[in-house]
Amino acid sequence: MNNIFTKLKQFFIAHKTAIIIVLAAAGVDRITKVLALELLYPVGSVEIFRWFHLTYVENTGMAFGLFQNANLFLLAVMIVVIIFIVKSWKELTALRPPLGLLGASLILGGAAGNVYDRIVLGFVVDMIDFRVWPVFNAADSFICTGAALLAFAMFFNKNAPEEK
């Protein structure tokens, strides 16, 4: 039993930055969704600026309104993405440090937030509404930002072998 705790302690020490980023992303996402459930659900939408509203949406699909009513399928996809990132952790975090670590951590945090919603609520809570774009949430932003950082890190990877 002591060996398990020692290994866990070593893991947390070795990956503390990533763990903090994942927990921060998932935490921000959760807080914004709880606020949306408590404050926006009763009113539907609140205009902040003419071009920006906070709008309560129960999304059973994915980004941009695709795959509506495919909650189970999308839950499975997100779990596969999480498993892939965890299994590829060393390779991803080695890409153009610290971009690979930041990108992978943001994707994990965002995916965890949306997986939580799909399991507990049966839908994902969206609330950020620019009126010219489908309504989205903080987790979607973290996933997209993380994917962009990973793409940048892969494209400009200074550790990649050079072609001759």
Catalytic residue annotation: 126, 140
Task: Kindly report the number of other CB atoms within 10 A of residue 124's CB atom.
Answer: 28
What CA–CA distance (Å, rounded) separates 121 from 118?
A: 6
Cβ atoms 135, 64 nearer than 8 A: no
Residue 105 CB neighbours (<10 A): 28
Q: Report the alpha-carbon distance of residue 62 to residue 5 in Å, rounded.
A: 38
